[in-house]
């Protein structure tokens, strides 16, 4: 080998190890996390936001070693072939994880459709993985200027709006959904939010009334309101979208 070639070879960096998804939990079978599809749900560790109504607060922190290795997760997915149609990446906030695209590619290679649950904390990564995705459930917390009231993080509405715009521009199938609690969103604010989403050309929208299950905020758990949101509000919002659903309880 000529001396020049040796020099060149010495400068080549080793290939970086692929980032492995940090998995905090798995639901092997779900009929409710991807519309019309049976799915295995992978709960990714980590979320930069701190919504009071979070149903998975144990997933907010990213630990040095994930509770379930990606190798074990992939082995489980191999056993789920023929039993479920799709793999849904949920959380936590999956777009926070640098290993998301690689994990989606490996799940796709096994023949699964790919679903994503996201709030849009990392819009650049969300946009980058959209070509790998068949369906997105996108959480809209509030009017984008009011996000911090829900997430407790200043400026969080800006990335969320970018994430939603990327989804709408991509043509990927999606549902926007908003969790409702009377202490966090008034009926008038829900109407304003629905108007703003209709103006953005959102076609599929769901309202989900808060459930206590998994929520650590005792004040929220103790202050639910029967009859909220009222039927007049719901009917007005239903008329703004080609597809609309209200989920209670
Ligand atoms: S964005 Fe989702 S995972 Fe993160 S704190 Fe809010 S509800 Fe929990």
Look at the chain and report how many structural domains it folds into: 1
Q: Is residue 77 part of a domain?
A: yes
Q: Is residue 8 part of a domain?
A: no
Q: Is residue 52 part of a domain?
A: yes
163 in contact with ligand 1, CB cutoff 6 A? no
51 in contact with ligand 1, CB cutoff 6 A? yes
CA distances from 56 to 43, 49, 51, 53, 217 (A): 9, 12, 10, 9, 12
69 in contact with ligand 1, CB cutoff 6 A? no
Q: Is residue 42 part of a domain?
A: yes
Given the CA of residue 56, which atom of ligand 1 is nearest to it?
Answer: 8
54 in contact with ligand 1, CB cutoff 6 A? yes
pLDDT single digits (tens) 211-229:
988 999 999 999 888 899 9
Given the CA of residue 179, which atom of ligand 1 is nearest to it?
Answer: 7
CA distance 127 to 101: 11
Low-confidence ranges of the chain (pLDDT < 70): 1-18
State residue 13's pLDDT score: 56
Domain that holds residue 68: 18-247
86-91 vs 113-118, strand pairing mode = parallel
For every residue of 230-242, DSSP letters joined together read PHHHHHHHHTT-S
60 in contact with ligand 1, CB cutoff 6 A? yes
Q: How many angstroms is it from 92 CA to the middle of ligand 1? A: 6
159 in contact with ligand 1, CB cutoff 6 A? no
93 in contact with ligand 1, CB cutoff 6 A? yes
State residue 168's pLDDT score: 98
State residue 235's pLDDT score: 97
Q: How many angstroms is it from 110 CA to the middle of ligand 1? A: 29
Q: Is residue 165 part of a domain?
A: yes
Model-level pTM greater than 0.85?
A: yes
Q: Is residue 12 part of a domain?
A: no
State residue 225's pLDDT score: 83
Q: Which of 178, 176, 150, 179 is nearest to 163 (CA)?
A: 176
Tell me, what CATH number does 164's domain have?
3.20.20.70
Give me Rg for the CA atoms of the chain. 20
Q: Which two tokens stand for residue 55?
A: 């149903």
3-state secondary structure of 190: helix
Cβ density class 104-113: b for 16+ within 10 Å, e for less: bebbeeeebb
CA distance 201 to 207: 17
79: CB partners within 8 A, 6+ apart:
none
119 in contact with ligand 1, CB cutoff 6 A? yes
56 in contact with ligand 1, CB cutoff 6 A? yes
Q: Whose CA is nearest to atom 7 of ligand 1?
A: 54
State residue 18's pLDDT score: 63
Q: Is residue 194 part of a domain?
A: yes
Q: Which of 38, 156, 47 is nearest to 95 (CA)?
A: 47
CB 81 within 8 A of CB 110: yes
């Amino acid at each position: 080998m000529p001396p020049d070639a040796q020099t060149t070879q010495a400068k080549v960096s080793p290939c970086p190890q692929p980032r492995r998804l940090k998995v905090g939990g798995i639901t092997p079978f779900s009929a409710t996390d991807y519309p019309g599809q049976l799915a295995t749900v992978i709960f990714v560790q980590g979320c930069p936001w701190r919504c009071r109504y979070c149903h998975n607060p144990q997933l907010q922190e990213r630990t040095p070693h994930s509770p379930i290795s990606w190798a074990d997760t992939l082995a489980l997915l191999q056993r789920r072939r023929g039993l479920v149609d799709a793999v849904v990446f949920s959380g936590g906030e999956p777009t926070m994880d640098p290993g998301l695209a690689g994990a989606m590619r490996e799940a796709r290679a096994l023949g699964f459709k790919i679903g994503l649950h996201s709030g849009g904390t990392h819009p650049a990564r969300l946009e980058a993985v959209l070509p790998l995705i068949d369906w997105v459930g996108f959480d809209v917390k509030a009017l984008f200027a009011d996000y911090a009231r829900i997430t407790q993080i200043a400026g969080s509405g800006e990335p969320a709006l970018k994430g939603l715009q990327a989804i709408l521009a991509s043509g990927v199938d999606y549902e926007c959904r908003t969790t409702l609690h009377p202490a966090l969103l008034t009926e008038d604010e829900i109407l304003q939010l629905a108007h703003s989403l209709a103006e953005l050309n959102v076609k599929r929208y769901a309202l989900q009334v808060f459930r206590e299950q998994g929520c650590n905020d005792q004040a929220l758990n103790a202050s639910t309101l029967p009859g909220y949101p009222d039927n007049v509000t719901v009917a007005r919002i239903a008329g703004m979208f080609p597809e609309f659903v209200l989920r209670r309880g």
